[in-house]
Structures are given as C-alpha cells and as structure tokens.
C-alpha cells in the first residue's frame, strides 16, 4: 500500500492553504518601503509643474537653500552635469528626470529638495521660484495630429510631429478581400478611458550609497527588482554588482510599479552626492498625476460577417495617447503591447490591426494595468465589437459567440494575428455560465419586464489572455530576454528556502511557491519559506507583472524541485543500498520497487546530502532552474452580468454576475478566487465609475480619491465563481495557466454589454466607459451615443 504523504494535508497542489504572508499583514507587521528607517536618513520631496506645457525661463532655488535643514536642491541643470537630466525609458524613448527646457505635463518633476525631514523638504519646494512661459496644450490624439500642432518633443532630433509610432500587424490584403466578400460589416468606435492602477501604497525609494564600500543599496517599491538594477547600472553608470535593489513588502502594484520613475533616480543621485541615505515617499496626488497611467486609447473596429453569423475578417485601428514620454514597460517587438491578442478565442480567418501612438501633454501612460500589455483593451474592444455584430445580425449573443469560438479539436490554433493558442474549452465555459445565469429564463423575464417599461439587460464577455511572457525568442524588454528562474535550498533537516526573480505584491507567492515544492518533493508547505525581491540573493528574473509569475517563475520552481528530486533519488539509492533504477518515487518518499516497505523520506535524503553522501557525490541539496517557456499560457473565461437600468435616473444595478474561469490547474483555489474577485471589482470600477480626464489646459481631473473613485465593499456587487472547467496547460510543468489579471481584463465588457443590452431598441449603440448614471440617462433620454471620456465641467 502506498505510504505517500497526503498532498492536501501537506499543503500541496489544490490545497486552499491560508496565505502565510497574511500573518504579518493583518497584524500590521508588514515591512513596506516607508517602514524602513536608516541611520542618518534624509528626506526628499519633489516640486511638480503646475502647467501642462510651458517653457522654463528660469528656476531660482536660492530661498530653498536658505531654509535650515535643507541639504540639497536638485534641478535639471544639476542633473545634467551628471548626464542624468534625461533617462532612457523601457520603450526606447527618453524621459526627463527633472525638466530642463520645458515642462510637458502637469505634475512633471521640476526640482527636488533633500532635507532633514519631509516637512522641511516640502516647505522648501514651495520656496523655489520657477518662471514658466505657457505653451499651447495637446490632450488627445486628434489634437496631436492636427495640422500645425505644437511639437511636444522638440528635445528630440528627427521628431517633426507628435507621432511616436505607426505600427501594423496582420494581413491587410487578405482582410480587404474578406470585407469585400462580406454580407454585412459591423462597425464600432470606442474609447477606453485613461485610468490609474492606483495601488494603496504609492511609489517610493530609499537610496543608500556607501562611499567606503562603493555599494549602492536601494529599497524601493518595484515589481521588477532585477530590471531596475540593470536600468540603474545603465542610467547612473554604476557597476551592476555594486547595486543592490531590495523590494520589501509592496502594497499593490498592478503595473504601476514597473517603470523607472524620476523620484527613484533623484534619490539615488542625492544619496551619492550627500553620502547619506535619502528617502522619497510619493504622496497620493503625486502618484495619481505623474506615475504610469493605463489605457487612453481609441478604436475604430470592423467585423466582416456572413449572413449566418460566421466572422470572415476583423479590422482594427487604435490611436493610443501615451502622454509626454513613451515609457510603457512592454516587450520591445510590439508597439501597442499585445493588442493583437484580440479575437484569439474566435476562429477568425484573417485580420489586420493598425496602431498609432502619439504624444500629448499628459503624464506618461500606457502601462499594463493588471493586464498583459494592452490585453485589457484588446478584450474590451473584442467583446464590445462582438456584441454590436450580433445585434447587427439580429442574432442571439450566446449563439453568435458559440458558432465563432475556436473548437476544442482545433488546438493548437494559429490566431489571425499569429499567436499560437494551445488549449481551452471555450464552449463548455460558456455553457456553464449560461446555465448559472439561467439564460433562457432571464431572456423571458427581460422581454416581460420590457413590456412594463423596465429595462433589464444581460452582458456576455469572454476573454483569453496571453500570459507568461516570454518565450525568449519573441519577448524581451530593452533587449533582455524574458524568462525567469528559481532557486531551492533544502536544509539538513529537510526544511527549505525558495527564491525567485519574481516579486509578489499581494498575489500570495509566499504561499503558492511553497505549495509547488510540496507537490514536487512532498516537503510540507509549512516547512518551505519563500523569499523574493532582493537582487543580492534572488536569482535573476524579469519580475511580476502581466500574470507571468505562475507561468514562468512558478514553472521554474517546479523545475528546480525536479532537479532536487533527481539528486535525492541518488541519495535514496545510496541509503537503501540498491541501484538508482530500482528506486521508485511517491510523494515525499523513495522506495525499493521490489520491496515497497523499504523506503526513505525526502527528509532522510536531505540529512544524507549533508551527513552521509556516497563517495564522490557533491554534498548539499540545492539547485537553480532557469525557465524559458515554450509558449505563453492561455487561460480563458466567460463573464456574464445581468443588470437593471432605471430610465428615469440612468442608475444601473447589477442583479447577478457569474464568472467561469479556466486557468488550468489551480495551485491554491482560494487564492485564485481572491484574484478573480479582485479583478472583477476593478472591472466593475472601470465600467461604472473610474476615469482620469483633463481639461483643455491639461489640468488633471482625478488627482485624488474624491474624484478618482475606488469601489468599496458597499458598491461592489456579489460575484458567483465557477471552477468546474479545467484545461491544463500542455507545456507548463504543473499544467497551470496565469490568473492574476483575467477578471480585470474580461470583466469590463460584461458590465458595459449588459447595460447596452438593457438599452437595446432605444437606438443607443454605445456609451463609452465609465457608465456614470448621467451619461446613461443622457443616452436614454436623447437616444444618442455617448463617446469619449466624460467632459470636464469648466471652472467658471
Ligand atoms: O504574476 P502574478 O502573480 O500577478 O499572477 P499569477 O501568476 O496569475 O498568480 C496570481 C496568484 O494566483 C499566485 O499566488 C499564483 O500562484 C496563484 N495561482 C494559482 O494558485 N493557480 C493558478 N493556476 C494560477 C495562479
């Protein structure tokens, strides 16, 4: 009889183990950047531009220098003496660290003061006098590309206009032919408004340069410590081995903490100049007006259709507003992220995407906010276009999607833009969702309610997200190939430590990586400690964003564990005095094939690795695996929402929401559910209440939590989650696919589609997000579409 350990009892794969990191978080014992206090530490504050576009005539910092307690005032001029006034971005552009010639967005960094405490530094910022000459302002792609538009990036050679890139992918001629052959062409124009990842903890850094050792240690809020170390080495021209980046506990990242920000660079230079630790902690307004925005993109979409509902081709054109600097963190090859993952779940024969990126006088934007590089926008556009197409055909929403899905027997499937999807059960997920929402019954209720003047609606959204960049063949950031790594050290007593190059920001890696080790080695998860975020100790990795941790770093953990198991097998053979070929494995234990009662545990093998290894064997039980995934992982989900819209006020209430997520094997079902609920909450926020817009002068409206709304438990509807569809990833060592972002990616279209469905028959085809009640009311009352971000009421 098997003597294997019980996988669920030891917290292995499939165990809903409580998050170990919560022990410290719920006790208030987390260790965030702002909790760290170093001896002799100084504090830095940033002076930001009040204007969106202006030439800097002069900066007079003399009064700031005179304030007692001020140690240093940094301006662009001083930064320039160190070649640090500008820095490279992760998208091969340049970004001003501190403005020298012009300011290009409201909130841009103009000067920094370093002082004995943050209050002195803040007061001193206010004593700096900057003489600005205002310039005309550009706040959207139409203005950016208008005849005679002012050139925002006149600092750059060969930049005669405000266009950053014109990029295309797909088959233009084939798509043209498909449209010529179509019975019907469905068209839709959409805007995905600018939003902000808005982690509760803002950005910050503490730079500590030690002249005696020449070592620079930086504690900072980064999702990608090794990438930052490489960037600091390049920007500050310091040797990489003399830089240690430590990313302590992070209070949420969502993509906001991937880019390199001027505050990081200034605190580093200040510490080098002053030879003292320098701390910079951004305030909420600074975070909201100057750090990585997301979305802000316009779509012109067309689907070529056969009368029976078959999609013949898709055409998309996007216009992305990147703000003043193109600083997206995304794979170099793809200018508009993975927008071309659109329609990957549908059997679309041919497609063509053109994308244009432009500068504007807004903060640098386009970060992947809880998504794999623009996949949120791609899926939103896709599912809004699908709804419009079904309406144009007069076809049932569910039937239209089902007939166009990639079928289970079509995998591996080449998408119209060239990705290779490898697995999924799309129709089954839809069926589970329709059953859960009681689809037919709801349609009857809807018709009946309509006859009494009540507006009920049902929205379907599906999503498949390419998660786990790379493979290194196709994915790199600044030329650094995308892969990941993990290191496992099994101690003498059979306890272990795992380190990866990923960096958890609330996702629970400390819990789930230990579960992978438990699954592979049979060591109880509670005997495994996980450490991430210190470049001096963690193996190289690309960091955590784009839900890539489980697909890449998690896979590396499994592969490292398998190397450990291979060595443990040799130790077991030695202990059991049989040849290695005669040794069998069951969870937690090796045994002799012909005598299953004779066995040794993995813990006994660990002791032997240090105390009783065979002659000639290298002692110890440690290993590292670098994992370069053969493909992305492709989770799939169906989200269905029912709503009731009040025609008198435009207020809409969610009646029911069903989520069917297939992310392959779930390591920790409870954590997965938490990820889905969080994502759906963000999706609800984006569709119902969130936007950051700008007035005609480029003033950012949405610089605080009175204007930029985060949903609380009070507003957030309940969600019904379904986990019965499981399609293991064929190439991931444990069959897992990413999940962290899926619900935030696929959710928004479900809410919007539900409201639009409620309005069907009113002649309203589209309301752009957010679906604020006044916008919905206006659409119903005047029977017209509402396009673009909400207008800003002028100050008069
Ligand atoms: O990269 P990020 O951690 O944001 O996303 P992820 O890899 O999708 O993982 C989010 C959390 O869900 C991690 O704790 C994962 O280990 C866990 N997860 C899981 O338990 N099962 C999966 N199939 C996928 C993720």
Q: Is 765 a catalytic residue?
A: no
Each residue of 630-642: pLDDT tens digit?
A: 999 999 999 999 9
C-alpha angle 191/193/198, rounded to 5°?
Answer: 155
Asked if residue 547 has its Cβ within 6 Å of ligand 1, the reply is: yes
pLDDT for residue 563 is more than 50: yes
C-alpha angle 462/465/467, rounded to 5°?
Answer: 160
Q: Which residues contact 448 (CB under 8 A, 6 or more apart)?
A: none
Asked if residue 514 has its Cβ within 6 Å of ligand 1, the reply is: no
Compute the mean pLDDT over every residue in the chain, rounded to the nearest whole number: 95
Distance (angstroms) between ligand 1 centre and the Cα of 663 equals 9
Each residue of 235-291: pLDDT tens digit?
A: 778 899 999 999 999 999 999 999 999 999 999 999 999 999 999 999 999 999 999
- Nearest Cα residue to atom 9 of ligand 1: 740
Distance (angstroms) between ligand 1 centre and the Cα of 713 equals 23
If one counts every other C-beta atom within 10 angstroms of the C-beta of residue 366, the result is 31
Q: Which of 24-33, 159-168, 472-481, 678-687 has the lowest mean pLDDT?
A: 472-481
Atom of ligand 1 nearest to the CA of 669: 20
Distance (angstroms) between ligand 1 centre and the Cα of 448 equals 43
Report the residue among 525, 670, 675, 727 best suited for mutation to probe ligand 1: largest number of ligand atoms under 8 A from its CB. Answer: 675
Structure tokens of 324? 């003043």
> pTM of the full predicted structure?
0.96
The residue with greater pLDDT, 103 or 471, is: 103
Closest CA to 661 of 547, 758, 757, 508: 547
pLDDT at 795: 43
Asked if residue 675 has its Cβ within 6 Å of ligand 1, the reply is: yes
Q: What is the arithmetic mean of pLDDT over 381-392?
A: 98
Asked if residue 633 has its Cβ within 6 Å of ligand 1, the reply is: no
Q: For residue 470, is the peptide bond before it cis, meaning its omega torsion is within 30 degrees of 0?
A: yes
pLDDT at 236: 78
Closest CA to 791 of 775, 773, 779: 775
The residue with greater pLDDT, 478 or 51, is: 51
Distance (angstroms) between ligand 1 centre and the Cα of 690 equals 26
Q: What is the arithmetic mean of pLDDT over 494-512?
A: 96
Asked if residue 548 has its Cβ within 6 Å of ligand 1, the reply is: yes
Q: Exactly one of 112, 125, 266, 371 is catalytic; name it.
A: 371
pLDDT for residue 725 is more than 70: yes
Q: Is 371 a catalytic residue?
A: yes
Q: Is 223 a catalytic residue?
A: yes
Asked if residue 549 has its Cβ within 6 Å of ligand 1, the reply is: yes
Atom of ligand 1 nearest to the CA of 663: 23
pLDDT at 794: 45
Distance (angstroms) between ligand 1 centre and the Cα of 499 equals 16
Each residue of 538-552: pLDDT tens digit?
A: 999 999 988 899 999
Q: How far apart are CA 376 and CA 461, in angstroms?
A: 12
Q: How far apart are CA 142 and CA 704, in angstroms?
A: 27
Greatest CA separation for the chain = 89
Q: How far apart are CA 614 and CA 602, in angstroms?
A: 16
Report the residue among 247, 507, 510, 543 best suited for mutation to probe ligand 1: largest number of ligand atoms under 8 A from its CB. Answer: 507
Asked if residue 469 has its Cβ within 6 Å of ligand 1, the reply is: no
Each residue of 776-787: pLDDT tens digit?
A: 999 999 999 999
Q: How far apart are CA 562 and CA 624, in angstroms?
A: 10
Distance (angstroms) between ligand 1 centre and the Cα of 545 equals 11
Distance (angstroms) between ligand 1 centre and the Cα of 760 equals 38
Q: How far apart are CA 369 and CA 545, in angstroms?
A: 9
Atom of ligand 1 nearest to the CA of 737: 23
Q: How far apart are CA 238 and CA 456, in angstroms?
A: 61
pLDDT at 470: 79
In contact, 631 and 471? CB cutoff 8 Å = yes
Report the residue among 372, 512, 546, 745 best suited for mutation to probe ligand 1: largest number of ligand atoms under 8 A from its CB. Answer: 512
Q: How far apart are CA 195 and CA 283, in angstroms?
A: 18
- DSSP-derived pairing of the beta strands 484-490 and 480-481: unpaired
Asked if residue 509 has its Cβ within 6 Å of ligand 1, the reply is: yes
Asked if residue 733 has its Cβ within 6 Å of ligand 1, the reply is: no
Q: How far apart are CA 778 and CA 559, in angstroms?
A: 57
pLDDT at 791: 75
pLDDT for residue 790 is more than 70: yes
pLDDT at 655: 98
Distance (angstroms) between ligand 1 centre and the Cα of 498 equals 16
Asked if residue 508 has its Cβ within 6 Å of ligand 1, the reply is: yes
Structure tokens of 17? 């183990």
Residue 691, burial from CB neighbour count under 10 angstroms (0-12, 13-18, 19+):
buried
Asked if residue 736 has its Cβ within 6 Å of ligand 1, the reply is: yes
In total, the chain counts a number of residues equal to: 796
Q: Exactly one of 356, 741, 742, 765 is catalytic; name it.
A: 741
Asked if residue 550 has its Cβ within 6 Å of ligand 1, the reply is: yes
pLDDT for residue 796 is more than 60: no
Q: How far apart are CA 40 and CA 380, in angstroms?
A: 50
In contact, 542 and 90? CB cutoff 8 Å = no
Q: How far apart are CA 745 and CA 117, in angstroms?
A: 41
pLDDT at 793: 52
* % of the chain surpassing 70 pLDDT: 99
Q: What's the count of helices (H) and strands (E) in the chain, helices before strands? A: 19, 34
- Nearest Cα residue to atom 19 of ligand 1: 667
Asked if residue 506 has its Cβ within 6 Å of ligand 1, the reply is: no
Asked if residue 672 has its Cβ within 6 Å of ligand 1, the reply is: yes
Q: What is the arithmetic mean of pLDDT over 100-111?
A: 98
If one counts every other C-beta atom within 10 angstroms of the C-beta of residue 738, the result is 28
Closest CA to 518 of 484, 490, 543: 490
pLDDT for residue 127 is more than 70: yes
Report the residue among 550, 676, 732 best suited for mutation to probe ligand 1: largest number of ligand atoms under 8 A from its CB. Answer: 550
Q: Is 429 a catalytic residue?
A: no
Q: What is the arithmetic mean of pLDDT over 40-65?
A: 98
Report the residue among 486, 676, 738, 743 best suited for mutation to probe ligand 1: largest number of ligand atoms under 8 A from its CB. Answer: 738
C-alpha angle 408/411/414, rounded to 5°?
Answer: 130
Q: What is the arithmetic mean of pLDDT over 369-387?
A: 95
Atom of ligand 1 nearest to the CA of 511: 14
Q: Which residues pair with 163 in a beta bridge?
A: 358
- Nearest Cα residue to atom 12 of ligand 1: 672
Structure tokens of 366? 């386009």
pLDDT for residue 469 is more than 90: no
Asked if residue 199 has its Cβ within 6 Å of ligand 1, the reply is: no
Distance (angstroms) between ligand 1 centre and the Cα of 672 equals 7
If one counts every other C-beta atom within 10 angstroms of the C-beta of residue 58, the result is 8
Q: Exactly one of 95, 108, 223, 507 is catalytic; name it.
A: 223
Q: How far apart are CA 339 and CA 343, in angstroms?
A: 10
DSSP 8-state symbol, 226 = H
Distance (angstroms) between ligand 1 centre and the Cα of 549 equals 7
Distance (angstroms) between ligand 1 centre and the Cα of 671 equals 8
Residue 148, burial from CB neighbour count under 10 angstroms (0-12, 13-18, 19+):
exposed
- Nearest Cα residue to atom 17 of ligand 1: 672
């Amino acid at each position: 009889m098997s003597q294997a350990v019980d996988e669920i009892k030891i917290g292995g794969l499939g165990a809903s183990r409580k998050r170990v990191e919560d022990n410290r978080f719920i006790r208030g014992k987390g260790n965030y950047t702002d909790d760290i206090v170093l001896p002799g530490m100084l504090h830095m504050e940033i002076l930001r531009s009040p204007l969106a576009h202006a030439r800097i005539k002069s900066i007079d910092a003399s009064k700031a220098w005179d304030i007692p307690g001020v140690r240093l005032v940094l301006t662009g001029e001083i930064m320039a003496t160190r070649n640090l006034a500008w820095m490279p971005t992760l998208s091969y552009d340049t970004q001003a660290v501190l403005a020298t010639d012009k300011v290009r967005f409201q909130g841009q960094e103009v000067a920094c003061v370093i002082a004995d405490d943050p209050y002195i530094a803040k007061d001193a910022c206010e004593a700096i006098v900057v003489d600005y000459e205002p310039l005309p302002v550009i706040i959207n792609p139409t203005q950016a590309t208008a005849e005679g538009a002012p050139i925002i990036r006149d600092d750059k050679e060969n930049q005669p206009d405000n266009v950053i890139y014109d990029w295309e992918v797909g088959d233009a001629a084939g798509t043209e032919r498909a449209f010529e052959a179509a019975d019907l062409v469905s068209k839709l124009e959409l805007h995905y408004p600018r939003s902000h990842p808005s982690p509760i903890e803002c950005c910050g850094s503490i730079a500590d340069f030690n002249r005696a050792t020449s070592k620079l240690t930086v504690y900072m809020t980064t999702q990608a410590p090794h990438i930052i170390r490489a960037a600091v080495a390049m920007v500050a021209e310091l040797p990489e081995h003399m830089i240690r980046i430590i990313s302590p506990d992070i209070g949420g990242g969502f993509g906001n903490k991937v880019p390199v920000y001027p505050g990081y660079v200034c605190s580093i230079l200040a510490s080098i100049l002053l030879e003292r630790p320098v701390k910079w902690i951004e305030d909420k307004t600074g975070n909201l007006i100057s750090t990585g925005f997301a979305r802000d993109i316009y779509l012109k979409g067309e689907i070529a259709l056969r009368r029976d509902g078959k999609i013949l081709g898709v055409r998309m054109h996007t216009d992305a507003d990147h703000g003043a600097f193109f600083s997206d963190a995304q794979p170099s090859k793809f200018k508009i992220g993975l927008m071309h993952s659109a329609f990957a779940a549908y059997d679309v024969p041919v497609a063509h995407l053109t994308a244009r990126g432009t500068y504007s006088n807004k903060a640098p934007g386009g970060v992947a906010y809880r998504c794999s590089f623009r996949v949120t926008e791609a899926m939103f556009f896709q599912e809004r276009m699908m709804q419009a197409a079904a309406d144009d055909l007069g076809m049932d929403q569910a039937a239209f999607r089902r007939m166009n899905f990639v079928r289970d027997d079509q995998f591996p499937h080449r998408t119209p833009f060239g990705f290779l999807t490898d697995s999924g059960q799309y129709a089954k997920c839809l069926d589970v969702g329709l059953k859960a929402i009681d689809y037919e019954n709801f349609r009857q209720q809807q018709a009946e309610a309509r006859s009494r003047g009540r507006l009920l609606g049902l929205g379907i959204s599906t999503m498949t997200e390419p998660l786990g960049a790379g493979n290194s063949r196709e994915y790199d950031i600044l030329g650094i190939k995308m892969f990941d790594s993990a290191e496992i050290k099994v101690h003498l007593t059979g306890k272990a430590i795992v380190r990866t190059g990923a960096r958890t920001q609330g996702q629970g890696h400390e819990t789930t990586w230990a579960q992978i080790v438990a699954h592979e080695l049979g060591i109880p998860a509670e005997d495994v400690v996980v450490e991430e975020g210190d470049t001096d100790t963690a193996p190289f990795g690309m960091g955590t964003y784009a839900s890539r941790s489980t697909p890449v770093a998690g896979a590396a953990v499994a592969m490292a564990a398998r190397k450990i198991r291979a060595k443990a097998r040799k130790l077991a053979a030695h202990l059991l005095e049989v040849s290695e070929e005669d040794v069998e494995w069951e969870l937690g234990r090796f045994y002799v094939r012909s005598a299953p009662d004779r066995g040794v545990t993995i813990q006994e093998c660990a002791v032997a690795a240090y105390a009783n290894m065979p002659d000639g064997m290298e002692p110890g039980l440690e290993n590292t695996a670098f994992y370069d995934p053969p493909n992305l992982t492709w989770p799939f989900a169906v989200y269905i929402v029912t709503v009731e819209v009040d025609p008198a006020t435009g207020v809409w209430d969610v009646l029911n929401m069903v989520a069917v997520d297939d992310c392959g094997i779930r390591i920790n079902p409870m954590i997965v559910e938490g990820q889905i609920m969080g994502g759906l909450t963000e999706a609800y926020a984006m569709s119902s209440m969130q936007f950051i817009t700008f007035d005609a002068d480029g003033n950012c409206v949405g610089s605080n939590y009175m204007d930029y709304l985060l949903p609380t438990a009070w507003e957030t509807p309940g969600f019904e989650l379904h986990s019965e569809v499981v399609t293991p990833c064929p190439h991931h060592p444990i069959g897992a696919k990413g999940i962290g972002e899926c619900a935030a990616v696929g959710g928004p279209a479900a809410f919007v589609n539900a409201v639009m469905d409620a309005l069907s028959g009113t002649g309203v085809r589209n309301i752009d997000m957010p679906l604020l009640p006044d916008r919905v009311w206006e659409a119903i009352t005047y029977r017209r579409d509402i396009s673009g971000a909400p207008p800003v009421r002028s100050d008069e």
